Amino acid sequence: MDEKERLLRAKIPGPETGIEVRHTLCDICCPSFHCGIDAYVKDGKIIKVEGTADHPVNHGLLCPKGLSNRQYLYREDRIKTPLRRVGARGEGKFEPITWDEAYAEIAQKLNAIKAESGPESVLFYSGYSKWYRPFLHRFTYSFGSPNFLTESSSCMTSTFLNWWVTTGNPMCSSDVLNSGVFLGWAFNPYYSRHLAALNVEKRKAEGMKIIIVDPRITPASLRLADIHLRPRVGTDGAVALGLAHIFIRDGRIDKPYIEKYVHGFEQYAAYVKDFTPQRVEALTGVPAGQLEEAAAMIADNLPLSINESAAPIGHHKNGFQAYRAIMSLSAILGCFDRPGGQVPVQFSYNYMPGGFRTREDDFIMAHHHRVTAPAVGAERFPVWNDFIHEAQANDLSRQIETGRPYPVRAMLGVGMNYRISPEDERLKQNLMKLDFLVNTELFLTDTCKFCDIVLPACTSFERGELKAYGGGHLFATKPVVEPLGEARSDARILCELAQAMDLDDELLRQGPDACWRWILQDLPITLEELRASDKPVKLPGVEPYVPGTMLEQGLDTASGKFELWSEAIAKYPQLDPLPAYTPPFDTPSDPDWPFHLCSSPRITNALHSRLHKVPWARSLRPAPAADLNPDDAAALGIAQGDDIELSSPRGAIVVKANLSYKVDPGMVYFYHGYSEADANLLTDNEALDPYSGFPAYRDTRVQIRRI
């Protein structure tokens, strides 16, 4: 083997091999990280990916999802040209068409429907990924529709709503590096959001105490926990109220802080009196003595920081109030907006707090005055509607079925994936009733197969985008390879479609760069200067937030304080202004459906359905498998690897049995996103949190039987 061949086989960049390293980001996962990627490119194709060592977020680390980027980019089902449906809706038969033909047909159909039924009859839906959302959001309002819907109707926005209601600010972060004790509620970074483990591991080595709250035994509970509380699924709110009971009972609260900064403490204290450790044990299964031990550990090791958990808490009918109950602990202990506690952050761009302000909100809302109709879900979920400038997508099936308050006739989707929705077969059948459906996607997904027009999108390797990171960083990426086929970036598609539809929005019609320049105009750096760098740029003059600033200025709530009693919720007599506890199910256990299905736990190698067709990722869990307790399995005659049927009143799926004592008796855990075994066939679209509209993915009653 000669030297050149050796270098090629080792994928060593340089003039001898023709391999070049170019920099981009991973866009498979949530926007919290979007890790830096070193893309090894030869002859215009990605041959290898690694993490960028000096990236300010991932510091060279990549999870199994990020390491799958090459195979993800070159999946065999990538869409490479615009497609028009030629068969019956749902058959998945298409013919290739040109971009001009696609734009012309979309413009004609959507403008005609707008003229006939009003702009509100057209939906604009964003799934994954999220990088283009400011463009689609503005597009929606420029069109005149109130109906900007996103998958965030089931992911993360419940957290934003919670903080809006409680503090008048959209988000907090956990100041783990200055904490004395960390309350890791549903904290499992070894399976999801892996970078979140780094600071916790560092502080544990330095002596920080850690309490993990999770019904399952997880890598986090085994590696990190000083105490592991294991409540029954859906009873988290009662655990939090029980901790509050002990703190107040024992006088282990910050009274001066409460008097100055907290609203509604007297009502809250009266409510939590009933949540004695003994009652909490009966409600949750957490032993009273262990709850006392956890409370003492917290009180003795302040300040307290708490894991921000977007989905595990929110995915219950009682999830919004449970989250409020958990975060209320930071107020009564004097740890909200304090070093080592929950520190408020504000978004710089596209859900990311960079420590600086852009004009993103002004960009999005510029034409909101054109909206005259209520959004989907506005009446059913009034608290959501008061704070979130999005329709609540989980109310969409009801509105299509009833036509109230107005009919829905068309949808323009970008990364729309109906399978992410509760009772998704119901949603599919309802979407198929619409007059016109468009989706922009990377792959010919199950959603695309019943659309009228499908448009091919780019991955993060094939486009340029704008990304904010903490610590004052901005990244204007550039394509590292040419798009496959005729694929285009989502933002470019939306701007070109605005032109084709003759949308009255001069800025949007000028294209993505003009929009980004407008959004960034107040910053001490230009888009061109950002693009001159191949990596994130730290903006000059960005200073870290000083904890306590918002408290001293007064919070943007009706009381100006942290609201244990929410004045925003008190306007609605059907809702409770206190973080009150309700059980996860409305009725006692049902002998016909004896098992409790939790259908949204994370696995390391997948995110929704995005990686199930990537060979490396699929190899880690090749068959859909449900985790259940071996004692339950023995009673049902089920052995490891057996085919089992999970059924609910809405449907049934067949999966493999995976037996594990990490699972409590009576529980079954199954990961969603497998098209051949779709967990959301079993879930209930009517089991929605009355505050947030979030679905109860983790609260489904099922039967289990061996096939």
Q: Which domains does the chain have, with CATH numbers?
A: 83-156+349-538 (3.40.50.740), 171-345+554-570 (3.40.228.10), 595-706 (2.40.40.20)
For residue 471, what are the CA distances in angstroms to 56, 170, 263, 354, 545? 8, 18, 32, 6, 10
**Short-list 631, 634, 625, CA closest to 653:** 625
Distance of CA 636 to the CA centre of its chain: 36
| pLDDT tens per residue across span 651-684 | 999 999 999 999 999 999 998 888 899 999 999 9
| pLDDT tens per residue across span 117-142 | 999 999 999 998 899 999 999 999 99
Residue 198 is which amino acid?
L
Residue 294, pLDDT > 80, answer yes
Which pLDDT does position 3 carry in this prediction?
87
> Which band of pLDDT confidence, cut at 50, 70 and 90, is reported for residue 511?
very high
Ordered DSSP codes for 437-503: EEEEESB--TTGGG-SEEEEB--TTSS--EEEETTTEEEE---SSPPSTT-B-HHHHHHHHHHHTT-
Residue 227, pLDDT > 90, answer yes
For residue 522, what are the CA distances in angstroms to 170, 357, 536? 22, 8, 18
Which pLDDT does position 674 carry in this prediction?
87
Dist CA 48 CA 17 (whole Å)? 14
Dist CA 519 CA 524 (whole Å)? 12
Residue 193, pLDDT > 90, answer no
Residue 600, pLDDT > 80, answer no
User: What are φ and ψ of residue 134, in 5° steps?
Assistant: -55, -35
Dist CA 106 CA 438 (whole Å)? 8
Dist CA 484 CA 463 (whole Å)? 11
Distance of CA 356 to the CA centre of its chain: 23
Which pLDDT does position 472 carry in this prediction?
95
For the record, the structure tokens of 452 come out as 């009228």
Dist CA 403 CA 417 (whole Å)? 22
**Short-list 567, 609, 530, 469, CA closest to 128:** 609
Strand 625-628 relative to strand 667-670, pairing: antiparallel
Dist CA 702 CA 597 (whole Å)? 6
334: left (phi over 0), alpha (psi -120 to 50) or beta: left
Which segment of 194-198, 399-403, 462-466 scores lowest on mean pLDDT? 194-198
Dist CA 393 CA 152 (whole Å)? 9
| pLDDT tens per residue across span 320-354 | 999 999 999 999 999 999 999 999 999 999 999 99
C-beta separation of 263 from 559 below 8 A:
yes
Distance of CA 371 to the CA centre of its chain: 26
Q: What is the mean pLDDT of the segment spanning 289-315? A: 93
DSSP 429: H
DSSP 255: H
DSSP 374: P
The string over 630-643, giving b where at least 16 C-beta atoms fall within 10 Å of a residue's C-beta and e elsewhere, is bebbeebebeeebe
Residue 171, pLDDT > 80, answer yes
C-beta separation of 482 from 43 below 8 A:
no
Which pLDDT does position 33 carry in this prediction?
85
| pLDDT tens per residue across span 556-589 | 999 999 999 999 999 999 999 999 999 999 877 8
| pLDDT tens per residue across span 362-378 | 999 999 999 999 999 99
Dist CA 681 CA 704 (whole Å)? 15
> Which band of pLDDT confidence, cut at 50, 70 and 90, is reported for residue 612?
confident
Q: What is the mean pLDDT of the chain?
A: 95
Burial class (CB in 10 A: 0-12, 13-18, 19+), 524: exposed
**Short-list 575, 578, 553, 548, CA closest to 166:** 578
Residue 25 is which amino acid?
L
Strand (E) positions, 532-632? 537-538, 562-563, 595-598, 625-628
Q: How many CB atoms lie within 10 A of CB 594?
A: 13
**Short-list 220, 144, 136, CA closest to 185:** 220
C-beta separation of 120 from 409 below 8 A:
no
Which pLDDT does position 30 carry in this prediction?
73
Which pLDDT does position 194 carry in this prediction?
82
User: What are φ and ψ of residue 520, in 5° steps?
Assistant: -95, 5
- pTM comes to 0.96
Q: Could you give the percent of the chain with pLDDT greater than 90?
A: 89
Q: Any residues with CB less than 8 A from the CB of 117 and at least 6 apart, and which?
A: 406, 407, 409
Q: What is the mean pLDDT of the segment spanning 157-181? A: 95
Residue 507, pLDDT > 80, answer yes
Q: Helix 277-284 to helix 288-300 angle, to the nearest 10 degrees? A: 120
**Short-list 233, 240, 244, 226, CA closest to 297:** 226
Dist CA 590 CA 595 (whole Å)? 9
For the record, the structure tokens of 7 come out as 């270098």
For the record, the structure tokens of 568 come out as 């925003």
| pLDDT tens per residue across span 62-97 | 998 899 999 999 999 999 999 999 989 999 999 999
Which pLDDT does position 395 carry in this prediction?
98
Which pLDDT does position 190 carry in this prediction?
87
Dist CA 376 CA 403 (whole Å)? 11
Q: What is the mean pLDDT of the segment spanning 514-537? A: 97
> Which band of pLDDT confidence, cut at 50, 70 and 90, is reported for residue 312?
confident
Dist CA 400 CA 434 (whole Å)? 8
Find out whether the peptide bond into 405 is cis, omega within 30 degrees of 0: yes
Dist CA 377 CA 184 (whole Å)? 32
> Which band of pLDDT confidence, cut at 50, 70 and 90, is reported for residue 221?
very high
Dist CA 25 CA 36 (whole Å)? 4
